[in-house]
Amino acid sequence: MSVAFAGSSTTGTSRDAGPLRVMIVDDSVVIRGLISRWIGAEHDMEVAASLRTGLEAVNQLDRINPDVAVLDIEMPQLDGLSALPQLLAKKRDLVIIMASTLTRRNAEISFKALSLGAADYIPKPESTREASAADIFHHDLIQKIRHLGARLRRKSAVASPPLAPASPAPVARGPVARPAAPAPAPAVPAASSGSLATRPFSTQAPKVLLIGSSTGGPQALMALVTELGPVIDRFPVLITQHMPPTFTTILAEHLARSSRRPASEAVDGEPVKPGRIYLAPGGKHMRVARSGADPVIALDDGPAVNFCKPAVDPLFTSAIEVWHGNILSLILTGMGSDGMRGGKEIVAAGGSVIAQDEASSVVWGMPGAAANAGICAAILPLNQIGPKVNRLFAGDRS
């Protein structure tokens, strides 16, 4: 058994302003070593334990008392999917990030894990010797730990306010230590969603629904599309979710089942028509263009935008050339600010933006950026977005 403890802790759900305690659970000594070094280089997190199996994680959880667990799927003795509910049963507010290689089976398991309470997932590179793949894994993992851990602490602070003023939580001072990485977005937005001003909805009738999402997006999308049948039947719906290949294939299948409408990864050159959901395929940007009088999908294999591929901004900005101001766009839960710039251009063209509110978002980065930019006509809980969209496409303009 390989166990490395860092610092001391007591069992419970209270949080202080110290580093986030991360438990790494993976049967690969190489992966455990890499992640441990990356976490050790960050000022706002520490390795609480490095374990080889899910069984070790379950048995040691009370003693380790981590804030975040990075949980591999395929392990001996007890795999990640089997360990997940046992870990959450012992510590219900534990943030669990599932880690898996990019196979269809592991993508399916990751989606199952989300339904069982995992906070997020991250694809592991096939080989850590490939520098670009390792860099992406490094950057994405650190950002997920930081943002999801920060959300846990904010929720804990609301649930258990301190008797005396608490020290402010540490703010990320910079990017993960590699030249190409961006500085992390603030863990806490400038203002809460309840205190932000909104603008009037467009007077132009929407002819297309565009949706952008990232962390927490799969769960949000599957809940949302169940309510959008009347819109999907009459108008095209285009979605960009930050996701790798294979995962978007599975997500499209889940969206089709949830909406009971056709949903698939978009294909370059295919016509954009009412009655179906088009999902940006992992690893490519989805744009729209005109072929004669008809809108068509235009996939783009260019560089990442906002450090994402697919990214939301290319979809939003390209749609203006096709539908002008007759656009309703939604920016759902996710890290970073992708969608804000494109949303600003949609508003300038005469369209409207709705952002998911902070309380219902897994991470209020993308919707928070749009809300703080003053471009939103509404900032709503997830369960109010579907009904509002239906009313807007039915003719409501308020």
Positions annotated as catalytic residues are 214, 242, 338
In whole angstroms, give the CA distance from residue 206 to residue 25.
Answer: 47
* Position 217, amino acid: G
Instruction: Find all residues with CB under 8 Å of 165, minimum gap 6, and list them.
Output: none
Which tokens hold the place of 322? 């096709």
Nearest Cα neighbor of 222 from 194, 256, 191 is 256
In whole angstroms, give the CA distance from residue 370 to residue 383.
Answer: 19
Look up residue 126 and give its DSSP letter: S
- Is residue 269 classed exposed, middle or buried when 0-12, 13-18 and 19+ CB atoms within 10 A define those classes? exposed
Q: Phi and psi of 84, rounded to 5°?
A: -50, -55
Give yes or no for a cis peptide into 200 (omega within 30° of 0).
Answer: no
In whole angstroms, give the CA distance from residue 17 to residue 358.
Answer: 21
Which tokens hold the place of 75? 């392990």
Beta strands in the chain (DSSP E): 20-25, 45-51, 68-72, 95-101, 120-124, 208-213, 237-241, 263-265, 277-279, 285-291, 294-300, 327-331, 352-356, 378-380
In whole angstroms, give the CA distance from residue 353 to residue 375.
Answer: 7
In whole angstroms, give the CA distance from residue 79 to residue 57.
Answer: 11
CB 21, CB 48: distance < 8 Å: yes
Q: What is the separation of C-alpha 118 from the centre of its chain, rounded to a whole number of angstroms?
A: 12
Beta strands in 105-227 (DSSP E): 120-124, 208-213
CB 333, CB 367: distance < 8 Å: yes
For Cα atoms 42, 182, 166, give the angle at the middle one, nearest 5 degrees. 45
